[in-house]
Amino acid sequence: MDLYFIWLVTFVAGFWIFKKIKEWQNLPPGPWGLPIVGYLPFIDRYHPHITLTNLSKTYGAIYGLKMGSIYAVVLSDHKLVGDTFSKDSFSGRAPLYLTHGLMNGNGIICAEGGLWRDQRKLITSWLKSFGMSKHSVSREKLEKRIASGVYEILENIEKTSDAALDLPHMLTNSLGNVVNEIIFGFKFPPEDKTWQWFRQIQEEGCHEMGVAGVVNFLPFIRHVSPSTRKTIEVLVRGQAQTHTLYASMIDRRRKMLGLEKPKGAEYAPHENLLKLYPNGHIKCIKYSKVSPNTEHFFDPNTLIPTEGDCILDNFLLEQKKRFESGDPTALYMRDEQLHFLLADMFGAGLDTTSVTLAWFLLYMALFPEEQEEIRKEILSVYPYDDDVDSSRLPLLMAAICETQRIRSIVPVGIPHGCIEDAYLGNYRIPKNAMVIPLQWAIHMDPNVWEEPEKFKPRRFLAQDGSLLKPQEFIPFQTGKRMCPGDELSRMLSCGLVSRLFRKQRIRLASKIPTAEEMRGTVGVTLAPPPVKYYCEPI
């Protein structure tokens, strides 16, 4: 009996070890790491995309490595990214602490499964109906909204003659109001304190999320590192603060539409936030890791409501419909989800577009001859100040594409999560693996792009002068979760730059950034060095 038992245990253990070795053998190749932390200590904290790109030169277009508690698979070939991200198995999000832990799978960026599919369908169709598709009837209306935001910037520039301007900051403020109209249905008044506060929370949040990178992979770090604990505190409080602002916008927009909050849609913190200050004012506190906390009171009635369609109204109307009809998917339309969705749309839409434009302005100031050529194109196609169509300005669009290639604003890409055990070719990808589409490696591959470190907008032009879209160019990624705001961002960038360049010539007021500064600063996005500009009227 004893012998039989020993034999059975040995057999089961042997089988288990054999199975594990087989599984391990089928994983993609990759570097060894240390126990617990994996390869994390060897990744350049400030330029992780460079370390990962260098590894792809050793291990190939697909490799795997342990990053703390997470197994990551890195893809550095556009075709592999396309094939992988078109599969349902890879449509999840990586189980990172900051995304899963802080967002709880709410919103759209961190959502998965039924919630994600439902919200993505809604967002895509709403964006289209607002004019964000090439042949939409409402496109003209959207162009006009964008134009009005741009005039605000131009007026501000004209007012500040001869001064060195923080142009990216000015652009973000005005662009932000266009995005605010589309998402919330409100604009902030010019120079509004609460708008600055809201932007600062967003900017510091984006920066801190990058800095806190390691906590994503080793969540226990927050219990031992006071600095990481403080970062998380700032992020959590910042989130609560912005939710206060959303709560007041939701309340006001609901009243404007004459809607009641459906029973079952309540979000407890929302109710409490609005009860805090009976006169309806909001206490806006700015928690910071780098400066003392500040506070001010905000009267939501100062927000300027807009006429056009917005995501918030569409959500509220859909919410009413689903709750009234007893649709089981009403579950996806609760106020809690709405708060996270608004935050996602604002963050995804504004930060990405303004960082892209900030890099673009910098390259335009560094390459004045390209700036002149682009201006010539704008003035020849649109001699009068008309609504602009990006397809008629190929050189301008080529320069924007080249900016997005040479400085991928999300250089490691936005990772996906593997929702079930799956295979890529012969490699086994385990459930919960993080799949990284390494944009930097793809956009800087010398086998695809000649002299990849050189800024050459014309690489995006065909011989007949039309705009080329090489398949290796994936700033918005590809597949099931591809950015739904790509067309909006093109419309915003083109609408803004074409009007700015027709009126102003820009040049650097700060000293030329060093090669090191031109590498950018990694947060959620790769930010350019902060520089100022002179604008000279044409």
Q: How far is the CB of 363 from ligand HEM (least distance, A)?
A: 15
Q: How far is the CB of 203 from ligand HEM (least distance, A)?
A: 16
Residue 237: closest CA among 298, 297, 285: 285
Taking the C-alpha atoms of residue 92 and residue 105, their distance in angstroms, rounded to an integer, is: 10
Q: How far is the CB of 141 from ligand HEM (least distance, A)?
A: 16
Pairing of strands 434-437, 70-75: parallel
Residue 177 or 477 having the CB closest to ligand HEM: 477
User: 394-406 and 486-503 are packed helices; what angle lies between their axes, rounded to 10 degrees?
Assistant: 120
The pair phi, psi for residue 304, each rounded to 5°, is -95, 110
Residue 231 or 313 having the CB closest to ligand HEM: 313
Residue 228 or 390 having the CB closest to ligand HEM: 390
Taking the C-alpha atoms of residue 312 and residue 315, their distance in angstroms, rounded to an integer, is: 5
- Residues 6 or more apart whose CB falls under 8 angstroms from that of 387 comprise 140, 143, 144, 147
Q: How far is the CB of 410 from ligand HEM (least distance, A)?
A: 5
Task: Report in angstroms the alpha-carbon separations of 98 from 13, 36, 91, 95, 264.
Answer: 38, 19, 18, 9, 28
DSSP letters along 94-118, please?
---IIIIIHHTT-TTTS--HHHHHH
Residue 146 or 378 having the CB closest to ligand HEM: 146
The pair phi, psi for residue 453, each rounded to 5°, is -80, -5
Burial category of 136 from C-beta neighbours within 10 Å (exposed 0-12, middle 13-18, buried 19 and up) = middle
Residue 216 or 352 having the CB closest to ligand HEM: 352
Q: 28 in helix, strand or coil?
A: coil
Q: ∠212-215-216 over CA atoms, to 5°?
A: 100
Q: How far is the CB of 484 from ligand HEM (least distance, A)?
A: 5
Q: How far is the CB of 177 from ligand HEM (least distance, A)?
A: 14
Q: Are 209 and 524 in contact (CB under 8 A)?
A: yes
Q: Are 153 and 165 in contact (CB under 8 A)?
A: no
Residue 303 or 345 having the CB closest to ligand HEM: 345
What is the per-residue burial (b if ≥16 Cβ within 10 Å, else e) of 184-197?
Answer: bbbbbeeebebbeb
Residue 123 or 146 having the CB closest to ligand HEM: 123
Q: How far is the CB of 18 from ligand HEM (least distance, A)?
A: 37
Q: Which stretch of DSSP H or E encloses residue 298?
A: strand 294-298
Task: Report in angstroms the alpha-carbon separations of 220 from 97, 210, 214, 301, 457.
Answer: 10, 17, 10, 43, 45
Q: How far is the CB of 538 from ligand HEM (least distance, A)?
A: 26
Taking the C-alpha atoms of residue 437 and residue 410, their distance in angstroms, rounded to an integer, is: 10
Eight-class DSSP state of 73: E
> What amino acid occupies position 537?
P
Pairing of strands 526-527, 294-298: unpaired
Q: How far is the CB of 476 from ligand HEM (least distance, A)?
A: 5
Biggest CA–CA distance in the chain, Å, is 96
Residue 109 or 273 having the CB closest to ligand HEM: 109
Residue 218 or 435 having the CB closest to ligand HEM: 435
Query: Nearest to ligand HEM by Cβ — which residue?
Result: 485
Q: How far is the CB of 368 from ligand HEM (least distance, A)?
A: 24
For ligand HEM, the binding residues (CB under 6 A) are 85, 108-109, 120, 123, 344-345, 348-349, 352-353, 356, 409-410, 414, 416, 475-477, 481-485, 488-489
Q: How far is the CB of 516 from ligand HEM (least distance, A)?
A: 24
- What radius of gyration do the chain's Cα atoms show? 25
Residue 262 or 475 having the CB closest to ligand HEM: 475
Q: 280 in helix, strand or coil?
A: coil
Eight-class DSSP state of 278: T
Q: How far is the CB of 344 from ligand HEM (least distance, A)?
A: 6
Torsional sign, CA 415, 416, 420, 424: negative
Tokens 């109710």 belong to residue: 271
Q: 426 in helix, strand or coil?
A: coil
Residue 508 or 526 having the CB closest to ligand HEM: 526
Taking the C-alpha atoms of residue 431 and residue 264, their distance in angstroms, rounded to an integer, is: 34
Residue 95 or 475 having the CB closest to ligand HEM: 475
The reply, when asked if residue 535 is annotated as ligand binding, is: no
Residue numbering of the annotated binding site for heme: 483
